[in-house]
Amino acid sequence: MDPFANALTFLSSIEKYLSPETKPYLERLKKPHHVHTTELSVKMDNGETKTFTAYRSQHNNALGPYKGGIRFHQNVSESEVKALSLWMSVKCSIAGIPLGGGKGGIIVDPKKLSPGELERLSRAYAQFIAPFIGEHKDVPAPDVNTNPQIMAWLLDEYEKIVGHHAPGTFTGKPLEIGGSKGRTKATGYGGVFAMKLLLEKLKQNKDEVWAQKPVSQITVAIQGFGNVGYYFAQIISDLGFNVVAVSDSKGGVYVKDGLDPKATLECKQDKGSLGGCYCIGGVCDLNKGKPVTNEEILELDVDILVPGALENVIHKDNANNIKAKVVVEMANGPLTPEADAILTKKGIHIIPDVYANSGGVSVSYFEWVQNIAGYYWEEEEVDTRLEKLMESSFEAIWSKYQWLLKEHGEDASLRLATYLLSVERILESEKLKRP
Ligand code: NAD
């Protein structure tokens, strides 16, 4: 599947629901403003020079500077960065933050580079994008295989070029050089908050029998146990929910009575993967656990399913086997469009990725605000502000969803409501700024 063609298909499908005033502007979102491409030359440790294809896609800036991560991965393509930049426009808009959409990437397997090669590649990328980025122009961040250390190299190289401090040009930085407190857990924290808000609404509907249970009986399965999956598991477990299964790339573990995410993480660190944790006795409480594969975890009979690792894991061949009542899309694009249609028809509530995982970019926005103001917040302030953003977006999505249910019956879904609201906000700004 061509990722950008996929993104455009969904964008076109919302056209018929847009207001007559905004509809004419939709065409503007079907193409990024700019796609910068180059070949980076990097000196390798053995003295040879290697070239790497690099991109920066700037999709739309009607709401504010372009914003989005930089991905280092062998599968990066122009189509992928274009699609991801479009989704960033939608994500920032639905999060209610004054930023647009962008995304960058390099075709590289960074695991094959030495630390020195990785630093030289990162600095070469900063030189490439320096003319197009800036605190009020385009603000990159980490994405797959990039991290705070890489942001520090990019910022250093950028500041050397422009000749002054500009910490707000990159987010996801280490705390010591202007990162924000609360960023590490932000995506999981925001996702759990979104889940709680949905549950409160569902509880008001007596037909949703499962939602009436005490939280200790509400079961949760989470695919992916990295930054997003681990914090989601830990935070929801601290709230009393029953996390029964988690998995990483090598498989997972199922514990009927619930597992302790912290102990599970220790076990994973000890054993190298979750796959071996089920058989540990005594000291860790996974001793009654059973192994599950990454295919099985998705099909468990749980109340809440959280795909938090990869894209396209729920597709037309397994969608009919999904038993959860709620799917929280913490990964980007975990459902194919066919799966989305099947689950929606089955009455499964899907919290769409662009909203569910927006806690990360929202705290990146807070980081940018703190850098520009030169004034830094405590973690409690970051968390409270994030909760407020998640809540106001949710209320807006929910009322759009109610309107869709009334006007368009079975076409209604939280994803459609989210996209409509988000895209209309961008198009309203287009209309005002560039009529
Ligand atoms: P990460 O690298 O920290 O963790 C990824 C996890 O997925 C690891 O536990 C890994 O073992 C697991 N995994 C890899 N292949 C797998 C497979 N085949 N089956 C099951 N698990 C597998 O990454 P992350 O930051 O947690 O990101 C996870 C997802 O969330 C990605 O789709 C990312 O784009 C999305 N996301 C992340 C953030 C963020 O702030 N980190 C924000 C928005 C969206």
Q: What is the distance in A from the centroid of ligand 1 to the CA of 119?
A: 23
Which CA distances in Å does 251 have to 245, 294, 307?
A: 11, 5, 13
pLDDT at 18: 93
Nearest in space to 377 (alpha carbons), one of 181, 184, 178, 186 = 181
Q: Give dist(CA 410, CA 23) in Å, integer.
A: 22
Residue having the nearest C-alpha atom to atom 3 of ligand 1: 226
- The residue whose two tokens read 């469009």 is 337
For residues 56-77, give the mean pLDDT: 97
Question: pLDDT band for position 285 (50/70/90)?
Answer: very low
Whether the CB-CB separation of 56 and 36 falls below 8 Å is answered with yes
Q: Give the rounded percent of residues in the chain with a pLDDT score beyond 70.
A: 97
Q: From ligand 1's centre to the CA of 412, what distance in Å?
A: 29
Q: Which residue has the tokens 């879904």?
A: 413
Query: By alpha-carbon position, which residue is closest to atom 17 of ligand 1?
Result: 249
Give the residue numbers marked as catalytic. Answer: 103
Q: Measured between alpha carbons, how far is 136 from 159 in angstroms, rounded to an integer? A: 15
How far does the centroid of ligand 1 lie from the alpha carbon of residue 147, in Å? Answer: 13
Asked if pLDDT for residue 272 goes beyond 70, the answer is yes
The sign of the CA dihedral 310, 314, 318, 324 is: positive
Angstrom distance (rounded) from CA 91 to CA 11: 13
Mean pLDDT taken over the chain: 94
Burial-class residue 249 by CB neighbours within 10 Å (0-12, 13-18, 19+). Answer: middle
Give the model confidence (pLDDT) of 97-147 as tens digits.
999 999 999 999 999 999 999 999 999 999 999 999 999 999 999 998 999
Distance 431 CA to ligand 1 centre (A): 37
Q: Output the CA–CA distances (angstroms, integers) from residue 191 to 5, 50, 195, 358, 394, in the order listed.
A: 27, 40, 6, 8, 11
3-state secondary structure of 2: coil
pLDDT reading at 283 higher than 90: no
pLDDT digits (tens, 9 = 90+) for 26-41: 999 999 999 999 999 9
- Round to whole Å and give the CA distance between 139 and 148: 14
Q: Which atom of ligand 1 is nearest to the CA of 143?
A: 34
Task: Say what the pLDDT of residue 310 is.
Answer: 87
Atom of ligand 1 nearest to the CA of 330: 30
165-169, 250-254, 366-370: which range is least confident on average?
250-254
Cβ neighbours for 136, distance < 8 A, ≥ 6 positions apart:
65
For the ranges 28-32, 164-168, 267-271, 328-332, the lowest mean pLDDT is seen at: 267-271
- Output the pLDDT for position 280: 47
Asked if residues 117 and 153 have their Cβ atoms less than 8 Å apart, the reply is no
CA distance 216 to 219: 8
- Per DSSP bridges, beta strands 66-73 and 138-142 are parallel
Among 94-108, 265-279, 319-333, 382-396, name the one with the lowest average pLDDT.
Answer: 265-279
> Residue 278 pLDDT > 80, yes or no?
no
Spell out which residues line ligand 1, taking CB within 6 angstroms. 187, 223-229, 247-249, 294, 308-310, 330-332, 357, 360
pLDDT digits (tens, 9 = 90+) for 4-26: 998 898 898 899 999 999 999 99
pLDDT digits (tens, 9 = 90+) for 189-225: 999 999 999 999 999 999 999 999 999 999 999 999 9
Nearest residue (by CA) to ligand 1, atom 34, is 332
d(CA 95, CA 298) in angstroms, rounded, equals 27
Q: Which of 243, 254, 260 is nearest to 195 (CA)?
A: 243
DSSP string, 126-169: HHHHGGG-BTTTEEEEE-TT--HHHHHHHHHHHHHHHTS--GGG
Ligand 1: which of 173, 249, 299 to mutate, judged by most atoms within 8 Å of the beta carbon? Answer: 249
Pocket test for ligand 1, best of 70, 72, 111, 248 (most atoms within 8 A of CB): 248
Q: Using one digit for the tens of pLDDT, what is the confidence trace for 294-339?
A: 999 999 999 999 999 988 899 999 999 999 999 999 999 899 989 9
Higher pLDDT, 356 or 12: 356
Q: Which atom of ligand 1 is nearest to the CA of 357?
A: 43
Pocket of ligand 1, candidates 94, 103, 189, 228: which has the most ligand atoms within 8 Å of its Cβ, to mutate? 228
Q: What pLDDT is recorded for position 301?
A: 97
Nearest to 129 by CA among 152, 98, 107, 161: 161
The three-state secondary structure class of 235 is helix
Give the pLDDT band of residue 401 (cuts 50, 70, 90). Answer: very high
pLDDT at 13: 84
Cβ contact 145:72 at 8 Å: yes
What's the gap in Å between 330 CA and the centre of ligand 1? 9
Give the number of residues written for the chain.
435
How far is ligand 1, taken at its centre, from the CA of residue 226, in Å? 6
